[in-house]
Amino acid sequence: MRKKSRLTGMSVVRGAIIALALLFAIAPIYWTINTSLKGATEVISYPPTWFPTQPTIENWLGVLFGSTFPREVLNSVLLGLGTIVIVLALGVHAGYAAARHEFRGKQSVLLILLMSTMIPGVVTIIPQYFLAVQLGLFDTYTVLLLVFSAWQLPMVVWIMKGFFEGLPRELEEAARVDGCSRLRAFYTVILPLSWPGLAASAIIVFVWVWNEFIIGLTLTQSPYVKPLTVGIYGFVGETGIDWGRITAGTAIALIPVAIFFMIFQRKFVEGLTSGSTKG
Amino acid sequence: MSTMTPTTPAALDSSPARKRARRSAKGATTFAWGLILPAFALVLAVTVLPVARAFELSLHATEFLNAGEFVGLDNYISFFSDPSGLAGIGRTIAFTVGSLALTMPIGVGLALLLNRRFRGRTLVRTLLILPWVVSQLLAGLMWRWSVSPDIGPFGFILSAINGERTDVLANPTTAMLTLIVVNVWRTYPYAMVLALAALQSIPEEIRESARVEGASAFQELRLITLPLIRSTLLIATIVLTINAVNMVDLPLVMTGGGPVNGTDLLGLRVYREAFTLDRIGFASAIAVVMFIINVLISIVYVRVLRGDREPKRS
């Protein structure tokens, strides 16, 4: 009996800690959505209201129809998809070579790819900016696609390498005996089996591009190129912060990633922990 | 006629087969290089070579886009001889240490709580991981209005407690603390997820036997659980250290480095010197300093991973 009551005492403490953690995790997100649904006067009323007393979607409509924001969302979607295409096209082949072939210089290539992920973006952004201006690529999709792809490639090569290593070699060998060329054996036998790896890579790459900010801020200018993060940041400044609009823009940027995450949670967690437990 | 068609079954095992193997090995090397080269070239050109370019820029008095004259180490000397240079390093260390000191215990603590079954655990876990998928930009913005004394709940509560309008971002010390809290908010899920994965890989029998031996919950944690997830925790620590050392977005969005440079971290300084003040050469010098710091952390990383793996094998 005593033991039982002690247990419930402990579980109350546990419950309280978890509730507190949930509050901490959710509060800023809740407040963003809360503020975005308030009218112009309620936003600045004091004390702040804990939920919108007269909910309105005017901020959302203003952002979606009265600004360049939709175009910037489109830019981010296109940049995300474009980066996925480039990164998968290059990464799949490189990962396959790394998984299935021994060749001179392989270890150096893999080491350089791995080490490149340790280069901080803030170190390379200045030369990248220089290069973009000199090549006339400043403020173009091209330069963003190149830089985004270069940052994401090593990770995708690693994911695909690990994936291919998990497939039995007999698969290609059988195809080769049947007279397939190496490339054909890869395309017709291995690649169709690789969609889980491809999907995981694509999800991670898309979320990364969707969230990226500093590279976009540095290398783009016009609403026809800049990603939505840069667009949202544009709501800051000018004439102070338009709280209603910027919270609506933030909520719009947040929702797809949050939904994505809820659906593909396992892939996210796998992506996070891969390497850490194998280490 | 090629060696591809052996005339007798026996020939499969003899010299034509070996010749074929050799030829195919050579072809395989070319083939493999052909596969890996495009990816390698792109990474080399866009992220590796720019490091060398940054070093080159740092040795020149470059302002705006005009390559300036060679000035040797002048940019470095002016960075290290100016008090603001060392202060920036100090602030970056404070931010990093503060973030890690909070993130790791919170992450591990929550992982321990989530490692036991309870109703709604999946939902709780999902909600607790959510901040990790929020970008640094959005995290900074969301917290900016959450702590605002005019429109935010935390700002309102703090002001009520203090008895006067309290803007945590208007004071250098509290602004830094706020940045740390926001960084913790965004990174504790990473520590939590990694710790949870490691915890779940501990066989139940080990904990069971510890309990049978009469170990208290605290002893079990200290003597059994933590040592077993140590290497995972080290990895999380190092990844998050690198993340904090190179931080740009949070101070840029929340404080712009202010007030009175109280949150001017090294990464933000690079960004501001280069793109606000157009002092490209000077900014590159700081960037190179940051790169060296990162290399040192990476070396520690590799050492730790090796040292941690070897005892396990023996």
Q: Does B101 touch chain A (CB under 8 A)?
A: no
Q: Does A72 touch chain B (CB under 8 A)?
A: no
What pLDDT is stored for residue A238 in this prediction?
Answer: 56
The b-or-e profile of B18-55 (16+ CB within 10 A means b, else e) is eeeeeeeeeebbebbbebbbbbbebbbebbbebbebbb
> What gap in Å lies between CA B188 and CA A208, rounded to an integer?
18
Q: Which of A163-172, A217-226, B3-12, B33-42 has the lowest mean pLDDT?
A: B3-12
Alpha-carbon gap: B301 to the closest alpha carbon of chain A (Å): 11
**For residue B11, pLDDT beyond 50:** no
Smallest Cα–Cα separation from A25: which of B144, B243, B124, B102?
A: B124
Q: Which residue of A has its CA nearest to B267?
A: A122
| Chain B contacts in chain A segment 179-208 (CB below 8 A) | 182-183, 207
**For residue B218, pLDDT beyond 70:** yes
What pLDDT is stored for residue B7 in this prediction?
Answer: 41
User: Distance of alpha carbon B183 from its chain centroid, rounded?
Assistant: 11
> What gap in Å lies between CA A277 and CA B4, rounded to an integer?
45
Both tokens assigned to B234: 């080290």
A114-157 residue pLDDT tens:
889 889 899 999 999 989 999 999 999 999 999 999 999 999 99
> What gap in Å lies between CA B108 and CA B99, rounded to an integer?
14
Using N-to-C axis directions, what is the helix angle for A69-100 and A58-65, rounded to 10°?
70
Q: Which residue of B has its CA nearest to A132?
A: B46
**pLDDT confidence tier of residue B207, bands split at 50, 70 and 90:** confident
Prediction ipTM score: 0.90
What is the number of other CB atoms lying within 10 angstroms of the CB of residue A95?
28
Domain layout of chain A by residue ranges: 2-56, 68-273
Q: Which of the four CATH numbers 1.20.140.10, 3.40.640.10, 1.10.3720.10, 3.20.130.10 does domain A68-273 have?
A: 1.10.3720.10
> What gap in Å lies between CA B219 and CA B283, rounded to an integer?
50
Cβ–Cβ gap A93/B38 under 8 Å: yes
In the chain, the amino acid numbered A209 is V
SS3 labels along chain B: CCCCCCCCHHHHHCHHHHHHHHHHHHHHHHHHHHHHHHHHHHHHHHHHHHHHHHHHHHCECCECCECCCECCCHHHHHHHHCHHHHHHHHHHHHHHHHHHHHHHHHHHHHHHHHCCCCCCHHHHHHHHHHHHHCCHHHHHHHHHHHCCCCCCHHHHHHHHHHCCCCCHHHCHHHHHHHHHHHHHHHHHHHHHHHHHHHHHCCCHHHHHHHHHCCCCHHHHHHHHHHHHCHHHHHHHHHHHHHHHHCCCHHHHHHCCCCCCCCCCCHHHHHHHHHHCCCCHHHHHHHHHHHHHHHHHHHHHHHHHHHHHHHHHHC
DSSP codes joined into one string, A104-133:
TTHHHHHHHHHHHTTS-HHHHHHHHHHHHH
**For residue B5, pLDDT beyond 50:** no
Mean pLDDT for B166-175 is 94
B232-243 residue pLDDT tens:
898 899 999 999
B98-109 residue pLDDT tens:
999 999 999 999
Mean pLDDT rounded to a whole number for chain B: 87
**For residue B250, pLDDT beyond 90:** yes
Measured over the CA atoms of residue B216, residue B219, residue B221 and residue B223, the dihedral's sign is negative
> What gap in Å lies between CA A100 and CA B254, rounded to an integer?
47
**For residue B150, pLDDT beyond 90:** no
Instruction: Kindly state the DSSP code that residue A193 receives in the 8-state scheme.
Output: G
Q: H-type helices in A178-275, by residue range?
A: 182-185, 195-211, 214-219, 228-234, 243-263, 265-273
What pLDDT is stored for residue B310 in this prediction?
Answer: 54
Mean pLDDT for B179-205 is 93
> For B251, what's the count of Cα atoms within 13 Å in the CB-facing half-sphere?
32
**For residue B25, pLDDT beyond 90:** no
Smallest Cα–Cα separation from A114: which of A145, A83, A84, A156?
A: A156
What pLDDT is stored for residue B20 in this prediction?
Answer: 59
- Domains parsed from chain B with CATH numbers: 74-313 (1.10.3720.10)
What pLDDT is stored for residue B96 in this prediction?
Answer: 97
What pLDDT is stored for residue B8 in this prediction?
Answer: 42
Mean pLDDT for B298-305 is 82
Instruction: State whether residue A260 is helix, strand or coil.
Output: helix
In the chain, the amino acid numbered B312 is K
**Contacts for B257 with CB less than 8 Å, ≥ 6 apart:** B251, B263, B264, B265, B268, B269, B272
Q: What are phi and psi of B88, to 5 degrees?
A: -65, -40
Q: Are B236 and B194 in contact (CB under 8 A)?
A: yes
Pick the residue of B40, B106, B282 with the most A CBs within 10 A to test the interface with A by mutation: B40
Instruction: Kindly state the DSSP code that residue A252 receives in the 8-state scheme.
Output: H
Pick the residue of A90, A126, A177 with the most B CBs within 10 A to test the interface with B by mutation: A126
Q: Which of A216-220, B104-108, B151-155 has the lowest mean pLDDT?
A: B151-155
**For residue A5, pLDDT beyond 80:** no
**Contacts for B307 with CB less than 8 Å, ≥ 6 apart:** none
Residues facing residue B70 across a β-bridge: B60
A245-269 residue pLDDT tens:
899 999 999 988 898 888 888 877 7
Both tokens assigned to B301: 């990383």
Q: Which residue from A128, A154, A212 is facing B43, i.e. has the nearest CB?
A: A154
Q: Does B112 touch chain A (CB under 8 A)?
A: no
Smallest Cα–Cα separation from B217: which of A21, A24, A13?
A: A13
Q: Does B292 touch chain A (CB under 8 A)?
A: no
Provide the percentage of residues in chain B whose pLDDT is more than 70: 89
> What gap in Å lies between CA A129 and CA B68, rounded to an integer?
17
Q: Which residue has the tokens 């998809």?
A: A81
> What gap in Å lies between CA B139 and CA A211, rounded to an integer?
11
**For residue A196, pLDDT beyond 60:** yes
Provide the percentage of residues in chain B whose pLDDT is more than 90: 59
